[in-house]
Amino acid sequence: MLAAYAVHVERSRGRRVPEPPHPYRNDFQRDRDRVIHARAFRRLEAKTQVFSRRHSDHFRNRLTHTLEVSQISRTIAGALGLNVDLAEALALVHDIGHPPFGHSGEKTLDACMREHGLAFDHNLHALRIVEDFEQRYAAFPGLNLTFEVREGIIKHSRDYVAKEHPELAEYLLDQRPPLEAQLIDLTDEIAYNTADLDDGYEAHLLSLDQIRRGVPIFDGFFHEVEQLYPDAPDKLKFNEALKRVLNRMVDDLIKNTQSRARESGIRTLEDVRHFPERLAAFSSTADAERRQTKEFLYENLYFSPALADEKDDAERIVRKLFTFWMKNPQALPHNYQEKAKAEGESLARVVCDYIAGMTDNFIYDQYEKHCSR
Q: Please provide residue 280's backbone torsions phi and psi, each rounded to the nearest 5 degrees.
A: -70, 120
Cα 150 from Cα 60, distance rounded (Å): 26
Cβ-proximal residues to 131 (8 Å cutoff; 6+ apart), any chain: 141, 142, 143, 150
Q: Where in the chain do CATH 1.10.3210.10 domains reside?
A: 14-307
294 Cβ contact list (under 8 Å, min separation 6): 189, 193
Alpha-carbon distance 132 to 16, whole Å? Answer: 13
Superfamily of domain 14-307: Hypothetical protein af1432 (1.10.3210.10)
Residues in the chain with pLDDT values less than 50: none
Distance CA 97, CA 129 (A): 7
What pLDDT, on a 0 to 100 scale, did the predictor assign at position 55? 59
Q: What is the pLDDT of residue 346?
A: 93
Question: What is the Cα gyration radius of the chain?
Answer: 22
Tell me what pLDDT residue 51 has. 79
Per-residue pLDDT tens for 98-149? Answer: 999 988 999 999 999 999 999 999 999 999 999 999 999 999 999 999 999 9
Residues 279, 182 contacting (CB under 8 angstroms): yes
pLDDT for 53: 62
pLDDT value, residue 248: 98
